[in-house]
Structure 1
Amino acid sequence: MSDIIGITMGDPAGVGPEISVRALADMPPEDRARTLIYGNRATLEAAKAVAGIELDLADRVVNIDYDGAPLPWGQLSPVAGDAAFRFIQRAVQDAQAGRIGCIVTAPINKEALNAAGHHYDGHTGMLRSLTGAKAAYMLLASDRLKVIHVSTHVSLKDAIARATTERVLATIRAGNAHLKRIGVSAPRIAVAGINPHCGENGLFGTEDGDQIAPAVAAARAEGIDAHGPISADTVFHRAYSGGFDLVVAQYHDQGHIPIKLVAFDTAVNVSVELPIDRTSVDHGTAFDIAGKGVADHGNMNSAIAYARKLVSGGSR
């Protein structure tokens, strides 16, 4: 596996260009030599100017041109949405060819992406399509809390329908394999219930007993240290306090709210079960501060550090 990290610049009108060049400037020379930015050279030079940093981008940029670069900061545009897609498309091609070991994505704007004709619900769906993967799971990782999701960008009604025994079991397996890969020898996995108090023996719904409990039992039969379903109002606190290494959340907000509460600026978004490795910042394009030189690149640094861990860990 290549040890080169490929940062995709994200939406050119957002904070992605700035946090990308800030992160590159912060790196020691040996790490910078193992990092590429997939984006637009003119936009990255503009981001350097607003950030007030000196940085030689020579040989560190895989340049992809688009009309009007650099675009105005903070303005939604289908041109920017298409450019963001093409940055990712090129990085995926290079990852599949073994030229880079992990993609680190800066934020994209879903509205701009769809306005450009790229109809995805976000990075994970796009990467699944570009790689031909059958499945991909969103894992949010912080020092004290890690969460993997059974479903993400769907309505709550659809999320409940998707919490089938098969899908919950597949999510448990994916989370278990990923934690082993990053060095957790025997992951302790908690599976959140979907109804209040896990349905209270059918008083508030039967999905926990009918769909989730059988998945946990099947995982345990395979030797996975899985527990649940556990009421969602307590399971995240138990994991944060050290009781579990990973929580399986049944839907987007169930997992996102607790981790953004405890690790808003440091949590890393990791795509699990893709044929390539990808990490990401866990924030948006922040059009309101783009181009003002104030964007914080701490979350980008965390995503890059997680990527380095993946590429140094050997085979997938």
Structure 2
Amino acid sequence: MLASFFKKSKPINFVLVGLFMSFYFLVANFFIAEAFYSLAEIFLKIGLLVAYLFLMELINFIVKRNEVTKKNTFTIFLFAVFTVIFLPILQAGEIIIASVFILLALRRIVSLRSGLYIKRKIFDASFWIGIAFLFYPESIWFLILPFIGILFYALQDFKNWLIPFFALMSVFILKTSFNLLVFDQFFNPISYFSYPSLDFTSYHQFSILIPLSVLLAFTLWSLFTYFKTIQKATRKTKYTLYIITITWLLSIFVVIFSNEKNGAELLFFILPVCVIGANYFEQKGEKWLKEILLISLLVLTLIVPFIAS
């Protein structure tokens, strides 16, 4: 049964999930898209596939290294399922790359719990979020996370609050240098911002509406268990769970204020939901309900491509 299979953390689990993700990525980019790619564009798509698979490995590393979940593969299963049912995610290169940098930042923030290299980790996290901004401007909302990390783990030193600004300045200098060398012009970060669109018309399409309804229902269902997990957690782990919760809340703002809404922006929302949902499957009881839920999610991945095509 699926619950028993993903309750374990074996190499075969990662291989199967990776193949599953790769299959849908190829379908979304080379079959449903019906586009003709040059050789250079094919190599770019392969690089994007690597980044997509790296996202899976990175989120698994974060939750295992910081004991957010137990040793299982529910997190990567949920990540795979919820990303493939939104096919625009698999075609959105800038959003996938921005998500990689956001997870790299999150990795540094939750590792503040060790108390080691505090200033370096705050700088790294802020720097990665600054890089993510270059690919997807709305991801700047996650800049709140380094300050949350400081509040939880490094409140004593006032200089820590200034580090994120120096990190952003570093991104600005590097981007300006690149622009001057390549385009002979200065970098203007203001030009990256645009008026947020509150037009959710595209969400009315069945190819987005159906998986979105499932995602939201699953999120609400899992949150009850997640909040109970937070209450029972040790103080050290509780802060990490709080950071995941805040990441989830910030992702809502990213989705709402995204300039273009085609479903791809939901990747930012999916990342923390995978962690929240994995906590539900780890709890004892409701064995058959969990099994039905996992099978239903898997069946949904078989239906969506026919809706989108």
TM over 0.5, shorter chain: no
Alignment TM-score, normalising by the size of structure 2: 0.35
Higher helix share: 2
What TM-score do you get using the length of structure 1 for normalisation?
0.34
Larger strand fraction of residues: 1
